[in-house]
Amino acid sequence: LHPTGIQGTQFSLLAILHHAGELPITEVAEKIGVDRTTLTRNLKTLVGRGYVTVDQGKDGRTKSVQLTGAGRDMLVKALPFWEQAQQKIVDGLGPLRFKGVLKELAAIRALTK
């Protein structure tokens, strides 16, 4: 992702928001497996670059995050680099081993909830 100027965690945030639409900060944090403080810190750069907005939530007590047009454009720009990196890993490990790694990561994540 280096040529795009974003990091993997930032790409993941953009992708989640693209697929889910507007979400409360707490829900975004749960989806990526970080606490709200870490997410807020990670969002600062994306907000500063105009890729996401953080506004008052629907109930007035929460804040919600939404992808902007510039964020969608960045996601489209970064996607080929992400796919290339993923393919490199699949090729290096082999499809079966890669699936096993994903399964193990899911199990680890389930243990941390």
Most confident segment among 11-20, 29-38, 53-62: 11-20
Report pLDDT digits (tens) over 59-93: 778 889 999 999 999 999 999 999 999 999 999 99
What is the chain's percent helix, strand, coil content, to nearest 5? 70, 10, 20
What phi, psi does 24 have (nearest 5°)?
-65, 150
Q: Is the pLDDT of residue 5 over 80?
A: yes
